Copies of this chain bind each other. A is one copy, B any other.
Amino acid sequence: MIKPGIPKGTRDFGPVVVRKRNYIFQTIRETFEVFGFQPLETPAMENLSTLTGKYGEEGDKLIFKILDNGEIFERAQQAKDSRELASLISEKALRYDLTIPFARYVVMNQHELALPFKRYQMQPVWRGDRPAKGRYREFYQCDADVVGSNSLLNEVELLLIYDTVFTKLGMQGYELRINNRKILAALAELVGKPELLTDITISIDKLDKIGMDGVKGELRDRGLSEADITIIENFLGIQGDNKSVLEQLRQLFAASETGKKGIEELDFVLHSGYTSFNTTPILDLTLARGLNYYTGLIVEVKAPASVKMGSIGGGGRYDDLTGLFGLPGISGVGISFGVDRIYDVLEELKLFPQTAQQSTRVLFLNLGEASARAAFGYMMQLRAQGIPAELFHESAKMDKQMKYADKRAIPFVIILGESELQEGLVSVKNLTTGKQEKIPADALVNYTF
């Protein structure tokens, strides 16, 4: 008999964890819904051709491919290496993110969809990354995107969604950091090397991890001169509140159309006059974000500084999401929540409310058939009011039943002994306080559990 286990990088979620995770999902879902976003669910399996080539060479290697059922032996004979073998015997793969399936869905349903299409999606994805602390091979993504609208109101709305969700979750001290890819493009122009935009972006993106000296070294390696690097260093050193930073950018990019457009967009998002934020977004010129399909606003959510966690969400505007599938010219903007990390932050800051941890509230002790039958009736009354209640499954020793209540963390126990039955009473024991009281049986439905 092999000791049972689960694959590396995957997790079982027991009752306590599922409930807390559902509290996070539910908070996000409710917010998406009041903002007018619509749910979408796509299959776990996509055609391999839908996924291949969309996540870079490294990404392709991490896609989990599904073996074709049936006869694969003959086909496999033609392969000359691992890669070819995989392509001969596998035509489906597991979802790697939610963005590509979303793009595929939009293209397939373009004639039915009302644009702008505001969709949210909360489903697991699978990646063959090396498992590590906080890095799993199966994890949920939780995305909201708007496609088919260039309006900056969408950017404002998406930032408000972050603002609303993290306020609801009670997470004080988190930061909403924003920047704009057009500003970075203008920087590359300023340096005189617009073709190195991606190299500059990738280098700046590592600032958190490798520091300014590291970034400078990286820029040097990627072919930028000392003069270029000084310009970039000065740019990254711009300090001040949002208004002041915008003002400095205006001077720096006075001659750049791209720069001015980026500044205008940031100014609108920050000072639209449409709304105010509980937590004002911070303009952070060092924010770059790795993915190179962003073209406008970029955003990242940082956990409160007291927990060392880094980014708990991010997103931005991208052009041409669906061009990959033959439908060009559809712009999009989206955000994502990092649910696993949000979970860890809430746990560390003890922010999960009591209600997110509640399971059965009331255990009726089973003290023999007459008592149990009466208890069953009362139990069904409580359940009808939405109060999770159980009757112990058998007439066991009191001790055993109390241990069950304890292990399950059930806060109330109800006792219907012979005397209670005769008097039409029930004894309610609060296991948290230890207090026990007898009340009329028909008052049970109004008791506060």
Kindly report how many copies of this chain are found in the complex they form together. Answer: 2
* Interface size counted on chain A using CB atoms at 8 A: 100
- Best-surrounded residue of A69, A105, A114 (most CB of chain B within 10 A): A69
State which of B44, B105, B118, B404 has its C-beta within 8 Å of the C-beta of A44: B44
Within 226-267 of A, Cβ neighbours of B (below 8 Å) are at none
User: From residue 331 to 377 of chain A, which have CB atoms closer than 8 A to chain B?
Assistant: 359-360, 372-373, 376-377
* Chain B residue with Cβ nearest A390: B36
Q: Which of A85-93, A174-182, A285-293 contacts B (4 or more CB under 8 A)?
A: A85-93
- A92-B7 in contact given A12-B108, A62-B69 (Cβ < 8 Å): yes
Q: Are B76 and A43 in contact (CB under 8 A)?
A: no
Contact of A86 among B3, B46, B49, B72 (CB under 8 A): B72
In the complex, besides A73-B82, A274-B376, 17 extra interface pairs with C-beta distance below 8 angstroms are A3-B326, A6-B47, A6-B50, A7-B46, A13-B40, A13-B42, A15-B119, A34-B383, A34-B389, A36-B388, A45-B138, A62-B69, A64-B67, A65-B67, A67-B90, A114-B407, A160-B380
The answer to whether A11 has its CB under 8 Å from any CB of chain B is: yes
Sample of 25 A–B contacts (CB below 8 Å): A1-B326, A4-B50, A4-B108, A4-B326, A6-B50, A10-B45, A12-B40, A12-B41, A12-B42, A12-B105, A12-B109, A13-B40, A13-B41, A13-B42, A14-B109, A38-B359, A44-B138, A45-B138, A67-B86, A72-B86, A73-B82, A76-B79, A116-B393, A273-B373, A274-B373
A57 within 8 A of B: no
For residue A81, CB closer than 8 A to chain B, the reply is: yes
B43:A149 contact, CB within 8 angstroms: no
Q: Which residues of B contact A11 (CB under 8 A)?
A: 43
Report the Cα distance A149→B65, complex, angstroms.
Answer: 41
Most chain B CB within a 10 A radius of its CB, from A10, A273, A389: A10
What are the interface flags for A95-136 relative to B under an 8 Å C-beta threshold, 1 for contact and 0 otherwise? 000000000110111000010101100001010100000000
A33 within 8 A of B: yes
Q: Is A66 located at the chain interface by the 8 A CB criterion?
A: yes
A124 interface neighbour in B40, B44, B108, B390, Cβ under 8 Å: B44
